[in-house]
A and B are shown apart, each in its own frame.
Chain A
Amino acid sequence: MATAEYPLEQPRRKPREFSISQAFSGWVETVDHKRLGLMYMVTALVFLLVAGVMATLMRIQLAVPNNHFLPPDTYNRLFTMHGTTMVFLVGMPIIAGMSNYLIPIMIGARDMAFPRLNAFGYWVFLFGGILLYLSYLGGGGLSGAGSAPDVGWFAYAPLTSQAFSRGHATDYWTLGILVAGVGSIASSINVIATTLSMRCKGMTLARMPIFVWVMLVDAWLILICIPPLSAAQFMLLADRYLGASFFNTQAGGSAVLWQHFFWIFGHPEVYVLIFPAFATLSEVIPVFSRKPIFGRSAMVAAVVAIGFISTGVWAHHMFTVGMTSVANIFFAVATLLIAVPTGIKIFNWAATMYGGKIRFSTAMLFCVAFLFQFLVAGLTGVMLGVAPFDWQLTDSYFVVAHFHFTLVGGFVFGVFAAIYYWFPKVSGRLMSEKLGKWHFWLFCIGFNVTFVPQHFLGFMGMPRRIYTYAPGRGWDGLNMLSTIGVAIQAAAILIFAWNVIRSLVHGAAAGDDPWDAWTLEWTTTSPPPEYNFETLPEVGSARPLWDLKHPDDPDWKYE
């Protein structure tokens, strides 16, 4: 129960025995959702580091005009691999990892609905990721040395046709992502079946934690939006190897059709990516404000609305393609409408904190920064939704700034919040709050120093995906400033990595419930036993642990 200080005092647990052969078979052959969840997360964080190094190299190249640090082909491959890795090999596995680890213990189940499908999903994802990186060895085909794809992460046609992308680099991109996509779909089917079918007694959908609701909508979105990408990729392969003409403009095919199919996937995809952060905030903010989430049903409705509307806005990535004014107006309308439920979420989180007793743990700090940064990102999104303004801003550094604000300032900050919040549950040990605060402040400052100036670079006409620029365009100083922020972020990440390692070895015992929280995962041990719960719980409200701690004032009286 709550005592004078966070974290709560609990008896120290004995550390586990360790054996190598057990470690191998225990992980490679596992179907336990907790182990698979961890494997997803660790793999994703490794890819995050790799893609982060790529970004660092790119920023060094752009620090000064006419730089010769990287030749153009290398730069073009870096931004392609950076984007592809971050979306498919960092974002998607984090979603799968968080869903798979947390959903069963939040709904009072012993595992996911389909444990073997779970394992299949992980290994297929890993294989897809490795396949993509094998392009460094085989991408040039027989005729050249290995080279990664250099067509951008959205691989527009006809740049990807055989005529303009020789060798096999593009095929590694296509196949790697196709395969990884199968893993995402497998994971999503599992999440939906688990959430609908395996909730413990008393946990109606209305009493499900918002985290689970958000990840459920996320899984639905993945189910609907990944197939268009897979379909387009099959078509691209047919074009490249069977002589098909889906996107072959010489044969009457349409390059714009690729864009439509890609963004029918691509736009819901970015909402897929931000949902884990929404989910995390909806759990962390209430606990560290000591109040329940404000407007629970509105929050759920908002997430469902966002998911639904997001399938209808895709062509706001194509405002400059030359669609009719009617089409442009339709997509501008839909895009601006999506700002409404998103804004509602921010207001509800703010109202949750209002009247509370806010405790600024590291997890909460990352949530607070998210609120400001996602607010900025959402507002720059509104600017981009105003199609004529988009005609200037699209394909410039303004858009680069916008999506890094949503993805780094939003998604990555949300993931850090999740790690600091659930690390004690997963490992049984506490992370260092002191190192956590150093990590937070350095990363927050570094992130803003890198990406705020990029808005202004966009205002001054700097296009994206350029490996260099001439002096005298007014871009020099801002680019240098943007690069300096990278060094600060790198320092922050090193501190984070040190915090994780040190905490795993030396961290204080966490106990079952270090944060005095209210959802089911905090009722079992840290880490949970293989069977998750000694006896399966029965719940009467959305905050079962609150009900237990406050028998005089349980939540179910107010439902």
Chain B
Amino acid sequence: MASITTTPPQIAEWKTPDRGTVGIISLIITESSLFMIFVIAYLFYIGKSINGPYPKDVLEFPWWASICLFSSSGTIVLAEHALKHGKMGVFKGWWGLTILLGLEFIHQTAAEWYHLIYVDNLRISTNLFGTTFYMLVGLHATHVIVGLVFLLIVFIVTMMGFPAQTQIRRITFLSWYWHFVDAIWVVVLTTVYIIGR
């Protein structure tokens, strides 16, 4: 059949949202819904552990880890800025630093868990605090690791010569995911290390 055109009032310019933008925002919304349930479980079980160790006995506010993760949101913005202006060397530098900061965050989490498990004897099976703590913090850490994998892929292919400036849109989406992971860390910090203690 011929194309369908009628003669209604003319449309000046036809714009719809970018599908990648919609996609990444939808992903962030669905992941937020997932995290929310673990947060609710954590809040619900505060104070209900039958035996210790209890949060105030073993938890220390993770200053250094948080500084690393929050700064990495800053460095990724700087990296994107460099990318948009074509400064590939600067881009690689900031992007690499973002990855290092993320890795240090994971390293700190692992160190904290090592201490909790082997020194404080807090395991997932120990009590309700252990159950909810490891699941919530672990879920977040998993998301950080997934993000790091993607950040690494971008870094490696850029180092190998791939022109990342042709993929600004997708790299932007990845940075939004990274910011989301940071925002969740704010929620986890508040729930576990502030309210929960």
B127 interface contact, C-beta 8 A: yes
Q: Which of B41, B45, B49 has the most CB of A within 10 A?
A: B41
Q: Are B34 and A538 in contact (CB under 8 A)?
A: no
A26 interface contact, C-beta 8 A: no
B9 interface contact, C-beta 8 A: yes
A4 interface contact, C-beta 8 A: no
For A78-98 the 0/1 string (1 means CB < 8 A from B) is 000000000000000000000
A71 interface contact, C-beta 8 A: no
Q: Which of A197, A245, A545, A548 has the most CB of B within 10 A?
A: A245
Residue of B nearest to A541 (CB): B8
Q: Are A537 and B22 in contact (CB under 8 A)?
A: no
Q: Say which residue of B5, B34, B128 sits within 8 Å of A245 (CB atoms).
A: B128
Contacts of A544 in B (CB 8 A): 4, 6
Contacts A238-B135, A537-B3, A544-B4 known; A556 to B26 CB distance under 8 Å?
A: no
Q: Are B37 and A243 in contact (CB under 8 A)?
A: no
A8 interface contact, C-beta 8 A: no
Q: Are A539 and B18 in contact (CB under 8 A)?
A: no
Contacts of A193 in B (CB 8 A): 19-20, 22-23, 26
Q: Say which residue of B30, B33, B37, B44 sits within 8 Å of A254 (CB atoms).
A: B44
- Measured in the bound complex, the distance between the Cα atoms of B26 and A189 in whole Å is 6
Q: Say which residue of B1, B9, B30 sits within 8 Å of A224 (CB atoms).
A: B30
Contacts of B37 in A (CB 8 A): 227-228, 231-232, 261, 264
B27 interface contact, C-beta 8 A: yes
Q: Are B30 and A189 in contact (CB under 8 A)?
A: yes
Closest approach, in angstroms, between the C-beta of A266 and any C-beta of chain B? 13
For A181-214 the 0/1 string (1 means CB < 8 A from B) is 0000100111011101111011000000000000
B38 interface contact, C-beta 8 A: yes
Q: Are B26 and A245 in contact (CB under 8 A)?
A: no
Contacts of A541 in B (CB 8 A): 6, 8
Contacts of A17 in B (CB 8 A): none
Q: Say which residue of A227, A232, A512, A536 sits within 8 Å of B33 (CB atoms).
A: A227
A244 interface contact, C-beta 8 A: yes
Contacts of A536 in B (CB 8 A): 3
Q: Are A243 and B23 in contact (CB under 8 A)?
A: no
Contacts of B139 in A (CB 8 A): 234
Q: Are A197 and B16 in contact (CB under 8 A)?
A: yes
- Measured in the bound complex, the distance between the Cα atoms of B63 and A488 in whole Å is 69
Q: CB within 8 Å of B: which of A452-493?
A: none
B11 interface contact, C-beta 8 A: yes
Q: CB within 8 Å of B: which of A520-541?
A: 520, 523-525, 533-541
Closest approach, in angstroms, between the C-beta of B139 and any C-beta of chain A? 8
Q: Are A547 and B19 in contact (CB under 8 A)?
A: no
Closest approach, in angstroms, between the C-beta of A319 and any C-beta of chain B? 20
Q: Are B125 and A547 in contact (CB under 8 A)?
A: no
A356 interface contact, C-beta 8 A: no
A252 interface contact, C-beta 8 A: yes
Q: Are B4 and A227 in contact (CB under 8 A)?
A: no
Residue of B nearest to A513 (CB): B1
Q: Say which residue of A223, A238, A246, A257 sits within 8 Å of B29 (CB atoms).
A: A223
Q: Say which residue of B19, B44, B134 sits within 8 Å of A194 (CB atoms).
A: B19
Q: Say which residue of B14, B22, B127, B132 sits within 8 Å of A192 (CB atoms).
A: B22
Interface pairs (10), CB distance under 8 Å: A193-B19, A226-B30, A227-B30, A232-B37, A235-B135, A246-B135, A252-B48, A252-B49, A252-B50, A556-B6
Residues of A within 8 A of B (CB): 113-114, 185, 188-190, 192-194, 196-199, 201-202, 223-228, 230-232, 234-235, 238, 242-246, 251-254, 257, 261, 264, 512, 520, 523-525, 533-541, 544-545, 547-548, 551, 554, 556
